[in-house]
Amino acid sequence: MGVEVLIKKSASDPSLILDPTTRIRDAKISCNERGFERMEGEIPLPLIQAAALFPSPGTPHATAGWNGARLFEGRLEDPALWAADVSGARFTAFGYQRAMADLPYTALWSTTDYTQFRPYTVENVAGATPELYQFDTNNRLFIGLTKGTIYGAATDGAYLGCVVPHLSSRDMIGVMFNWQTNLPVNWRLQVRTRAEDYTGAAVQKDVTPGASSGNFFLTFSGAKRLDFLLFNDTGANYTVTNETGFYYVKITNLRVVTLTTSAVNTTTTAAIAAGSNVNVPVVTTANMYVGQTLHFGIPASNGATAIVESITSATVFVADLSFAMASGGNVQAFVIYASDIVKDLLATVCATNADQLNAATIRIQSPGVDLFDETYEDRSMSSILDYLAGLGDTQSPPRVWEWGVWENRVLAFRPRGSAGRAWYINVTSLEIARTLEQMVNATYAVYKEAGGREIRTATSTDASSVRRYALTRRSAYSASTTSSVQAGVLRDVSLGDTKDPVPRASLTLDRLTSADGSIWPLWMLRPGDTITVRNVPPSIALRTRTFRVSRTEYSPAERTLDVELETPLPGLDTLLARVAAGIRGAI
The contact set with other proteins (CB under 8 A) reads 1-6, 8, 14-16, 19, 21-24, 27, 44-46, 49, 63, 65-69, 358-363, 406-408, 410, 419, 514-521, 524, 556-559, 581-582, 584-587
Considering the complex, what minimum distance in angstroms separates the CB of residue 199 from other proteins? 37
> Which of 179, 139, 178 is CA-nearest to residue 455?
139
| Nearest CB to other proteins, comparing residues 265 and 366 | 366
Considering the complex, what minimum distance in angstroms separates the CB of residue 128 from other proteins? 46
Q: Which helix (H) or strand (E) is 294 found in, with range?
A: strand 293-296
Considering the complex, what minimum distance in angstroms separates the CB of residue 418 from other proteins? 11
| Nearest CB to other proteins, comparing residues 409 and 491 | 409
Evaluate whether 44 touches 88 at the Cβ level (below 8 Å).
yes
Considering the complex, what minimum distance in angstroms separates the CB of residue 89 from other proteins? 13
Evaluate whether 452 touches 115 at the Cβ level (below 8 Å).
yes
In angstroms, the CA 345 to CA 260 distance is: 17
Considering the complex, what minimum distance in angstroms separates the CB of residue 14 from other proteins? 4
Chain centroid to Cα 510, Å, comes to 39
| Nearest CB to other proteins, comparing residues 49 and 484 | 49
**Residue 189, CB-side half-sphere exposure with 13 Å CA sphere:** 29
| Nearest CB to other proteins, comparing residues 220 and 406 | 406
What distances in angstroms separate CA 98 from CA 42, 59, 357, 386, 502, one per listed residue? 22, 13, 10, 13, 29
In angstroms, the CA 208 to CA 230 distance is: 9
| Nearest CB to other proteins, comparing residues 84 and 273 | 84
Q: Which helix (H) or strand (E) is 83 found in, with range?
A: strand 80-83
What single-letter amino acid sits at 156? D
| Nearest CB to other proteins, comparing residues 214 and 528 | 528
Considering the complex, what minimum distance in angstroms separates the CB of residue 356 from other proteins? 14
| Nearest CB to other proteins, comparing residues 14 and 452 | 14
| Nearest CB to other proteins, comparing residues 73 and 171 | 73
Evaluate whether 130 touches 443 at the Cβ level (below 8 Å).
no
Considering the complex, what minimum distance in angstroms separates the CB of residue 72 from other proteins? 12
Neighbour tally for 453: CB within 10 Å: 9
Considering the complex, what minimum distance in angstroms separates the CB of residue 25 from other proteins? 10
Query: Which residues contact residue 516 at a Cβ distance below 8 angstroms, ignoring those fewer than 6 apart?
Result: none
Cβ density class 106-125: b for 16+ within 10 Å, e for less? bbbbbbbbbebbbbbeeebb
Considering the complex, what minimum distance in angstroms separates the CB of residue 59 from other proteins? 17
| Nearest CB to other proteins, comparing residues 507 and 586 | 586
In angstroms, the CA 216 to CA 204 distance is: 11
Task: Name the DSSP letter for residue 323.
Answer: S
Give the largest Cα separation in the chain, rounded.
Answer: 97
Considering the complex, what minimum distance in angstroms separates the CB of residue 312 from other proteins? 21
Evaluate whether 19 touches 55 at the Cβ level (below 8 Å).
no
Query: Which residues contact residue 402 at a Cβ distance below 8 angstroms, ignoring those fewer than 6 apart?
Result: 33, 34, 389, 412, 413, 414, 415, 416, 417, 528
In angstroms, the CA 21 to CA 14 distance is: 17
| Nearest CB to other proteins, comparing residues 87 and 269 | 87
| Nearest CB to other proteins, comparing residues 495 and 579 | 579
Considering the complex, what minimum distance in angstroms separates the CB of residue 435 from other proteins? 34
How, if at all, do strands 442-448 and 474-478 pair?
parallel
